[in-house]
């Protein structure tokens, strides 16, 4: 592949900014917040729909998959287009997706690489704390898994 194309479009990698485009490179806190909230949204929609039998039965398999895929598409759209920073490749959502290209290509992919690890990690911690808070809601008898109370 043409190295110029790789550098221009950061193919396959997670970048905050590079030498030519500042992107969010000068604003690591903003990039961390974007990574956190986008990962949290995907967790909230995807995991909650997938593991809560009541919600997944009401929606059905097709609608549940569409909502989960839609949440991923939404956060990628928001992170790449709405932020409007050239040189920013959007959310990583998965640190392994960012680590592989950084190991193979290196260079600007290591700029502020920690953000693609800390953001999802913090989102998982907050989601885990939120989902395990005590709930006073009544539990349906036809549910064999209750995510909020961690009962089977």
Model confidence over 45-102: pLDDT tens digits? Answer: 888 877 778 888 888 888 888 888 999 999 988 887 776 666 677 788 888 888 888 8
Res 127: pLDDT: 93
106 within 8 A of 117, measured Cβ to Cβ? no
Buried b (16+ CB within 10 A) or exposed e, 37-57: bbbbbbbbbbbbbeebeeebe
Please list, in sequence order, all residues whose beta carbon lies within 8 angstroms of the beta carbon of residue 117, skipping any fewer than 6 positions away.
Answer: 95, 98
Show me where the domains of the chain are located: 27-131
CA pair distance 121, 125, nearest whole angstrom: 6
Residue 106 banded pLDDT, cuts 50, 70, 90 = confident
Q: Can you read off the two tokens belonging to residue 22?
A: 């500042």
Greatest pairwise CA separation for the chain in angstroms: 59
The CATH classification of domain 27-131, taken from the options 3.40.50.300, 1.10.300.10, 1.20.1080.10, 2.40.50.140: 1.20.1080.10
Comparing CA positions, the residue from 11, 32, 38 lying closest to residue 118 is 32
């Amino acid at each position: 592949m043409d190295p110029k194309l790789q550098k221009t479009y950061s193919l396959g990698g997670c970048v905050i900014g590079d030498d030519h485009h500042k992107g969010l490179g000068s604003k690591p806190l903003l990039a961390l917040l974007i990574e956190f909230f986008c990962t949290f949204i995907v967790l909230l929609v995807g995991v909650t729909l997938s593991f809560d039998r009541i919600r997944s039965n009401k929606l059905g398999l097709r609608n549940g998959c569409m909502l989960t895929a839609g949440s991923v598409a939404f956060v990628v759209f928001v992170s790449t287009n709405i932020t409007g920073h050239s040189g920013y490749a959007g959310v990583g959502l998965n640190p392994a997706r960012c680590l592989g290209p950084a190991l193979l290509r290196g260079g600007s992919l290591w700029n502020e690489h920690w953000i693609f690890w800390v953001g999802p990690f913090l989102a998982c911690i907050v989601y885990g704390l939120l989902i395990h808070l005590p709930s006073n809601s009544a539990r349906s008898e036809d549910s064999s898994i209750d995510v909020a109370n961690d009962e089977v």
